[in-house]
Amino acid sequence: MSTGICLITGASKGVGRGIAYGMAREGWDVAINYYSDLEGAEETAAEIEKLGQRGLPVPGDVSNRSDVEAMFAKVVEEFGRLDCLVNNAGRQTFAPLIELKEEDWDKTIATNLKGSFLCTQAAARLMKDQDGSASIINIGSGANKQPFMNLIDYCASKGGLEQLTRVSACELGQYGIRVNCVAPGAIEIERTREESDDYAGTWSPLTPMGRIGYPEDIANMVAFLASEKGEFTTGQTVYVDGGLWTKTHWPYSVD
């Protein structure tokens, strides 16, 4: 099955929204998870409807098991099945290791890593009993392998996501469920524009392909991995970064 029903966490804005649009353009109906941004989720759903597909806002805190169970139950109630899960919801805290608050560490690990685990587990329990293949795609980062100063909570969560991807792929392959990770490079979205007065000017010179990335770049890879064209690819991390994380000497750090 190259199209079907896709659930994307954290899809009310940013990369998640871009992935939702990309999947809709490929013929997928999309469940749009959000935590607090109902307006953003409804805007995403409205644009998906314009693309001729169904968009369904679904609330839920991915770090809360009860919320996750209710979210997946809603998807099944409305669509009858689930063919693709994209674990995109995430957060980060800019702080030095010795100053990072325990509660911020806990929130980041809970959202980025525990949330991906809970959603993967819930999805796999549905997908294993369905006909046809299915796909789970985790949204990683250069932090999967690169140390970012003052982002230790984020780096720890994304490093864990790398192994969650690999182990999940090995365990779930027997059910026809593929699990991969897409790791973006410097992607311009609402949040990253706030990090720099000239985001493109900062990151384009550091990227071998000479430009920053956009949500549609990530969406294109997600759609490929979710489709029949990616049916023999699992356990992989694909860096969609214009070559940024391929560099052996990486000059950037967060001050």
pLDDT class of 2 with cuts at 50, 70, 90: low
Of the candidate CATH numbers 3.40.50.150, 3.30.420.40, 3.40.50.720, 3.30.750.24, the domain formed by 5-241 belongs to 3.40.50.720
CA distance 39 to 44: 9
Say which of 21, 34, 35, 154 is annotated catalytic.
154
181-225 pLDDT, tens digit each: 999 977 876 666 666 677 777 778 778 878 888 889 999 999 999
State the chain's maximal CA–CA distance in angstroms.
Answer: 50
CA distance 117 to 140: 13
Closest CA to 13 of 43, 47, 48: 43
CA distance 10 to 122: 16
pLDDT class of 248 with cuts at 50, 70, 90: very low
Concerning whether 154 is annotated as a catalytic residue, the answer is yes
Whole-number pLDDT of residue 241:
85
Burial class (CB in 10 A: 0-12, 13-18, 19+), 213: buried
The residue-averaged pLDDT of 164-179 equals 98
Contact status, residue 153 vs residue 109, Cβ threshold 8 Å: yes
The residue-averaged pLDDT of 103-117 equals 98
Whole-number pLDDT of residue 211:
84
Tokens representing 66 are 């009860």
pTM of structure: 0.92
pLDDT at 254 > cutoff 70? no
The residue-averaged pLDDT of 153-176 equals 97
131-154 pLDDT, tens digit each: 989 999 999 998 898 889 999 999
Closest CA to 125 of 88, 168, 162: 168
Q: Which residue has the higher pLDDT, 194 or 14?
A: 14
Contact status, residue 180 vs residue 238, Cβ threshold 8 Å: yes
